[in-house]
Amino acid sequence: MGKMDLISYIQSANAALTAWTVITNMFVTLIVGIFIYWVYKKTYTGVMYSRSFNVTILLTTMVTAMVMMVIGTNLALSLGMVGALSVIRFRSAIKDPKDIGFIFWGISAGLSAGTGAYVIAVIGSIIIAMILFMVQRGTLENYPYLLVVKGGVVDEEKLRSIVASRVEKYSLRMKNHTRDGIEIIYEIRFVDGMEDLLIKEIKEMENISVINVVSYKGEIAG
């Protein structure tokens, strides 16, 4: 198939797409893309927020909608597009696994809006945003903490008894004996209002030198 034949084929395959349809699709895609941009910024929990990556998500949403309008329902053309896009390589590493989810969200929104499925793009995005905000505020997850206690000769059974009486759940994560003393780490889930009381009771024990409470989300840097 020559160049002119391909252009003619694309034009005939997309004859049903009027200028108004293209404008409507792109406008809805833009609104949804800006919404995804805003949600990513509000729910970002990392140290270094990347505005350029967020803009990339918005552009990915828009470009996906354009590609879908070009492809339409033609299988041969879609396979050709996949082959052409396979030459693209991402040079920046994605550090947060959640960022991958936002990329797929942007692509899915572009696919929906580009094919005229506005209801799926809008309602689906709203539902995803609601879930993200619920998780962000801790509604669906109660993150554990690491309780780190250091000291000399520590009454381990008394420490365990205090921890057990003041937290919802606990689990011994590490016990490290040295010449200077001992280091004990518990994974705990606090009962509301018991954090200060727990720390106070541990401080009153003999030979306790350091008490640390560390936010823990399932990852320990090694």
What are the C-alpha distances in Å from 88 to residues 71, 81, 128, 180, 195? 18, 12, 28, 56, 51
CA distance 154 to 131: 44
DSSP string, 38-50: HHHHHH--SSS--
Question: Tell me, what's the pLDDT at 220?
Answer: 46
CA distance 58 to 36: 7
pLDDT tens, residue by residue, 89-101: 555 566 677 888 8
- Residue 38: pLDDT band (50, 70, 90) is very high
What domains are there in the chain, each with its CATH number? 3-136 (no CATH), 145-215 (3.30.70)
* pTM exceeds 0.85, yes or no: no
pLDDT tens, residue by residue, 129-152: 999 888 877 654 566 788 888 888
Work out the average pLDDT over 183-194.
80
| Structure-model confidence comparison of residues 5 and 33, the more confident one | 33
